[in-house]
Structure 1
């Protein structure tokens, strides 16, 4: 990550949310292939933004703010996905009125100025958005979607061909262009909500900001839903699910507020 140094915290016996293991469908597609495809698409997107003078520079206050928040969250990613320790994390800001943000496989994060400016997000609320998007990458939801596509496309021949990854690998090529526009299932979104709340809470951000965030999102949904909201089912049920998870994540936030003598940032 540009300009970021992170520490590796010690995480105690399993506390927080429970969402089960990653989908078996994700194993049908190579993680490294998807991460490579994501890195290429991300680089292309940044180059295009640079050409349009829409890419915020490293010294931009909001870029520094986003990267500071990411530095606190990222160390807690490894527990959710061991691949994350080798990801080359990137956090960038793009000038656009879109109310949107995402994290592609491999830790490629982008925020649009619209989501920060229009919703007037606090640091805690930014952490909720970032944690949610990072959770999608950690839970390999894009890889799962591609695995399901591969299984559907290969049909009855899938089991006999699963060791020969030619056709399955082709799925990454065919569907890789969709990484920026993937729409996740309601189950994926619920997982990302919960894992994101935990990541942010462990990093010292108030998970109750997830509730205020979604209320702001709902208020912004006057005529048409913001792009970020259109792919993230919202509503009273979703807020209720977050409220139900507070008993698991608020104690993690409280613990993060206590200074640890052994915790040092290089």
Structure 2
């Protein structure tokens, strides 16, 4: 009975939303079809609420944007990356992008749905990141938002549940909105992506940084630093990420595609 009902829920929701790829194929060729059962506007709005709550909490603790030079550095890099996002996702040009910095030893950074970027000072200071390496992280996290991995993860949670309340939320009715808000708050910011999504973010993020004139080889040096820093433990930033050796090998194989974009941008 549960399987039949779940199928019915999915069939009804898919009639409205369906499966699609959220980004253009572009140079690197990511074109996986994605299950999307909730609207992007709803996920973006709820993610912005969660992001603002995180900022408020950090502000109250005196740890938000305390290093003005470091914040300005992040903003300069973002100002070069964000204009390239429209190549992968034209509507991203109208997103209300935002960059903030939390003072914390965490090796962490994220970009919530809708373009809300957050860095933690630990990942910059402990890894002694160059601008190119910061661009590699930022591009990777922006790619998650452009590919709507948060929205996809929320939809996957819906697909694993059954009941009319879930169908109501998936099809835009009022019932189930509190549950949706909770899911977006968790999945949009704090919960990890799966390995397929991480690999997609590696590819598209490296393309973004190359188009912005940052050396894509820095994506390789970045992950080598992350591996060295995480020996004996796994920082939040690396949870569910692909095998480090495979990740570096895949990035190396990607270089012939993205280096011409970097060389063109430098010219």
Which category of TM-score, normalised to the shorter sequence, fits these structures? Answer: 0.7 to 0.9
- Secondary structure of 1:92's counterpart equals strand
Q: Partner of 1:18 in structure 2?
A: 29
Give the distance between the partners of 1:167 and 1:79, measured in 2 at CA.
37
Cα deviation for residue 80 of structure 1 reads: 1.9
CA spacing shift, 1:204–1:187, aligned 2, 3 Å = same
Q: TM-score, normalised by structure 1?
A: 0.84
Give the equivalent residue in structure 2 for 1:207: 216
Do the aligned partners of residues 31 and 144 (structure 1) sit closer, same or farther apart at CA in structure 2, a change above 3 Å counting?
same
Contact 2:158 2:170 in 1 (8 A): no
Query: How many residue pairs get matched?
Result: 243
Matched, 1:247 2:256: yes
Match of 2:39 among 17, 30, 34: 30
* Ranges in structure 1 where 5+ consecutive residues have no aligned partner: 1-12, 259-266
The alignment yields a C-alpha RMSD, in angstroms, of 2.3
Structure 1 position 223, deviation (Å) = 2.3
Contact in 2 for aligned 1:34/1:143 (Cα 8 Å): yes
Higher-RCO chain (CA-CA 8 Å, sequence separation at least 6): 1
Deviation at residue 165 of structure 1 after TM alignment: 4.3
* 153-162 vs 110-119, which moves further: 153-162
Name the structure 2 match of 1:226: 235
Counterpart of 1:135 in structure 2 is: 143
- Segments of 5+ residues of structure 2 without an aligned counterpart are 1-23
- The alignment's TM-score, normalised by the length of structure 2, stands at 0.84
**Matched residues in 2 for 1:168 and 1:242: separation?**
41
Change (3 A) 1:48 1:75: same
Q: Deviations over 1:115-157 (max 9, x none)?
A: 0000000000000000000000000001001111112213799
Q: Displacement of 1:233 after TM fit?
A: 3.1
Change (3 A) 1:15 1:248: farther
Aligned 8 A contact 2:28 2:207 in 1: yes
